[in-house]
Amino acid sequence: MSITEFLSSIVPFTQDELNDIQSHFKKELVPKNQILVHQGDICKTLYFMEQGMGRSFYTNENGKEITQWFFGIGKFMTSADSFFQQTPSLYNLEVLVDSVVFSISKEDIDQLFAKYHKMEKLGRLVTTEMLTKIVNKLNAIQFQTAKERYDYMLAEFPQIAYQVPLGHIASYLGMSQETLSRIRK
């Protein structure tokens, strides 16, 4: 899914608007395992995942990596806090397979928000959608058994569930890798 297709699917931009908006995005090929943002950095770029997948994760006190979110095709990938409030990111952003992303700087997207009311609306709608998804995850984590949480994962990220290391999924779901391995049987 191209970025213009994505934008148009949410708000009806004119062709001129789309051209202008698109011109602020830069296409990048990112190789597997590359870290786009490091924990502690201020995230200055928003990424749109055209092809591939990524995750956000942090390293806890015991040096263990905890996956916080997965990003599939057609999603914006960023450390939302850090990007929008320009505060140090709690997370690393990592690309999990060779990927194609479109990137845009904070200044540029703020300019687009200011220039186009429609773009601001898109920002609001995308954020609302993210909010809904996080609430769903929260419910899964808070009140479901390990088995049910895995089912939630399969429903939410069907394409990702079978392509990333088990440990990433386990930490995303808030359980140990051993438990997830036992569940999957």
Give the footprint of DNA on this chain (CB under 7 A): 145-147, 165-167, 174-182, 184-185
SS (H, E, C) the chain: CCHHHHHHHHCCCCHHHHHHHHHCCEEEEECCCCEEECCCCECCEEEEEEECCEEEEEECCCCCEEEEEEECCCCEECCHHHHHHCCECCCEEEECCCEEEEEEEHHHHHHHHHHCHHHHHHHHHHHHHHHHHHHHHHHHHHHCCHHHHHHHHHHHCHHHHCCCCHHHHHHHCCCCHHHHHHHHC
From a second copy, DNA, none, interface partner of 154 (C-beta below 5 to 8 A by class): none
Name the binder of 184 from DNA, a second copy, none, CB < 5-8 A by kind: DNA
Query: Binding to a second copy by residue 74, rule CB under 8 A?
Result: no
Interface positions, 90-149, toward a second copy (CB under 8 A): 113, 117, 120-121, 123-124, 127-128, 130-132, 134-135, 137-139, 141-143
Residue 91 or 99 with smaller CB distance to a second copy: 91
Which partner, DNA, a second copy, none, binds residue 179 by CB below 5 to 8 Å per kind?
DNA
Residue 65 binds a second copy, judged by CB under 8 A = no
Q: Which does 33 bind (CB under 5 to 8 A by kind): DNA, a second copy, none?
A: none
Residue closer to a second copy (CB basis): 132 or 163: 132
| Residues 6+ away with beta carbon under 8 Å from 81 | 87, 89, 90
Q: Which is nearer to DNA, 31 or 115 (CB)?
A: 31
Candidates 13-21, 76-84, 151-159, 176-184: pick the segment binding a second copy (CB under 8 A).
Answer: 76-84
40 torsion bin: left (phi>0), alpha (psi -120 to 50), beta (else): left
Question: Minimum distance from CB of 98 to a second copy (Å)?
Answer: 28
Q: How far is the CB of 60 from a second copy (least distance, A)?
A: 7
